[in-house]
Amino acid sequence: MLETDKIFCYTVIVLLLHEMKGDVMEKLSFKTKVDYGIGAVGKSLSCSLSSGNFLYYCVNVLRLNKTFLMPLFFVVRIWDGITDLLMGTIIDNTRSRLGKFRPWILLGAVTNAIVVIGMFWWPGLRGAGLMIYITFFFLMFDLTYTMVDVGYWSMIPALTLDTRERDQISAAPRIIGSVAGSISAFFFQIINALGGEEVNKGFFRYALITSAFFILTAVYSGITVKERVAAPPQKKDEKYTLSQAFRILINNKQALVVVLIMVLFNLANNLTNDTMIYYFKFVVGEGHTVNILNKIALNNIDQYSYFKLVIGGAQFIGLAGFSFFSKRFGRNRLYISSMVMPIAGYLLMNVVRGISPGTYLPFLAAGFLSNSGYGSMSVMQSVMLADSVDHGEYETGSRNEGIIFSALTFLNKIAAAFSSVIILIGFSIAKFGGEDAVSATLGAQKAISFLMFKLPPIILLLTLIVYLSGFRLKPDYMKAVTDELQRRRTERLAALSE
């Protein structure tokens, strides 16, 4: 080899090693974590409106029939889950100057913001025309949201291999997003302020606001945060297909365990969140007022708002404390306690409701206990999937962030689909006409209470069983995996100098 060639090769290897050090060993700056987390602000607001409150909008504002909504929510969510996997495949095939993830974050944010505005703009249609309109925009919402959601979350394992850093970068968007999302505690007050008696206009104006935030925050995060962990070399003409994506996901047994854990977790959480407004409106009752320390009089909607604030604060503590408690007690203990705490909180809710149905503060405390565990579990799902990406590369030599993390958004939508269907079935069995109801029978009240805080702990107990019996990506094992992956990267870089 000529001397100039040697100098060139040594220069390349030094630069690559330096880049690798930045990717793997150098800590992520605080600014990078915040910049990444900012991307969740508008995303959180949009998702809360278009997923969490869309069922209420369809039932109570548009007065759409439950027999239409039940198959719509289920079929669209299942279809959207498939498109998530397709999006993950597209991301893993993406090679651009902006990397694999950022092009889809940027494109998805802009197109989804436009669709959300369309979802909550009522064109004056009724009957079949309104059903077609809602179906179209519901399909388009999931399709466009998939771009940004899969792109955003699948970027986590490409930011760092370090477990401590991964805990923090996984928590950052949820912490920042939860702060921004705390305004949802006063969602109905905001809708009333924006629309007055014309509730549909309140929803539309709120959609305009959330869409603007979505574009601004996603663009900022997409520009400022870059992927740092390079994937193993891929042949120029090698492309992943949808069938290959299914095989990659199915063959990664630990990813499948994580998927099942998170489907169950999200199902339990969604059941509570989606029935909460019905609980305070129809079970607590519009005429029910409580006094807090003989100073603050709260009606049922005020109780709903304060309950949302308290559980939001509890989730924030679980999110913010995830990295600290993980380091202090170990991931395994934290994971288990994060599943046990919600179960204990739900049991306490049932005890309080059984002993003293009219009390508020003990019920509030039980909600705080359950949701502090939910906060930790929401970070847990991203960390688990990021570890399963490393595990997949360790076993197969292929790194598939997009495909594996598409399972995260897929499972969220599967859980949302089952939650919506279970709620609608429960309402139908109890003969509770949510779209026209001004009151609820005793049977309907029992059904709402069962869906909100009696069924979820049963589901969470199944979640705990799945974790204890199937999950094996524990800290010692993952340390060996990441050490081996770093060794392979070093060998690939060294081979370039030969």
Domain residue limits, the chain: 30-228+245-488
Q: Is the pLDDT of residue 470 over 80?
A: yes
Query: Residue 242 above 70 pLDDT?
Result: no
Mean pLDDT lowest for which of 19-23, 431-435, 472-476, 485-489? 19-23
Q: Is the pLDDT of residue 455 over 90?
A: yes
Q: Does residue 304 carry a pLDDT above 70?
A: yes
Over residues 420-429, mean pLDDT: 85
| pLDDT of 287 over the 80 cut | no
pLDDT band at 297 (very low <50, low <70, confident <90, very high): low
Task: Convert the pLDDT of each residue in 100-128 to its tens digit.
Answer: 888 999 999 999 999 999 989 887 778 88
Q: Which of the residue ranges 70-79, 101-110, 413-422 has the most confident prediction, judged by mean pLDDT? A: 101-110
Q: CA-CA distance, 160 to 322, in Å (whole number)?
A: 17
Which of 182, 203, 193 shows the shortest CA–CA distance to 60? 203
Mean predicted confidence (pLDDT) in 412-424: 80
**What contacts 123, CB < 8 A, 6 or more positions away?**
133
Q: What value does the CA radius of gyration of the chain take, rounded to a whole number of Å?
A: 24
Higher pLDDT, residue 19 or 176: 176
pLDDT of 54: 81
**pLDDT tier for residue 296 given thresholds of 50, 70 and 90:** low
| pLDDT value of position 469 | 92
Q: Is the pLDDT of residue 437 over 70?
A: no
Distance from the Cα of residue 41 to its chain's centroid: 12
* Mean pLDDT of all residues in 257-265: 87
| Rounded to 5°, angle at Cα 178 from 172 and 181 | 140
**Which has the higher per-residue pLDDT, 238 or 199?**
199
d(CA 88, CA 205) in angstroms, rounded, equals: 33
CB 383 within 8 A of CB 403: no
pLDDT score for 233 = 56
Q: What is the pLDDT of residue 6?
A: 42
Question: Would you say residue 238 has pLDDT above 50?
Answer: yes
The one-letter code for the residue type at 166 is R
Q: What pLDDT score was predicted for residue 340?
A: 94
Q: What is the mean pLDDT of residues 162-168?
A: 82
- Residues of the chain above pLDDT 70, percent: 85
User: CB–CB of 268/454 below 8 Å?
Assistant: no
Lowest mean pLDDT among 351-355, 429-433, 437-441: 437-441
Segment 368-381, tens digit of pLDDT: 998 888 888 888 88
For residues 383 and 166, the answer to whether their CB atoms sit within 8 Å is yes
Task: Label residue 8 by pLDDT band (50, 70, 90).
Answer: very low
**pLDDT for residue 2 is more than 60:** no
Classify domain 30-228+245-488 at the CATH superfamily level: MFS general substrate transporter like domains (1.20.1250.20)
Q: What is the pLDDT of residue 299?
A: 73
| pLDDT score recorded for residue 20 | 41
Comparing 108-122, 217-231, 347-361, 409-423, which segment has the lowest mean pLDDT?
A: 409-423
Q: What pLDDT score does 295 carry?
A: 56
Per residue in 331-361, pLDDT tens? 889 999 999 999 999 999 999 888 887 778 8
Q: Model confidence at 75, in pLDDT bands (50, 70, 90)?
A: confident
pLDDT score of 21: 42
Check residue 26 and give its pLDDT: 62
Phi and psi (nearest 5°) for 279? -65, -50
The Cα angle at residue 272 between residues 257 and 268, in degrees rounded to 5: 15
Cα maximum dimension of the chain = 89
CA angle 175, 145, 179 (to 5 degrees): 20
Dihedral angle sign, alpha carbons of residues 381, 385, 386, 390: positive
Res 18: pLDDT: 41
Whether residue 168 contacts residue 379, with contact meaning beta carbons closer than 8 Å, is answered with: no
Confidence of residue 290 (pLDDT cuts 50, 70, 90): low
Closest CA to 102 of 110, 91, 111: 91
pLDDT, residue 498, reads 58
pLDDT of residue 394: 86
Q: What is the chain's mean pLDDT, rounded?
A: 80
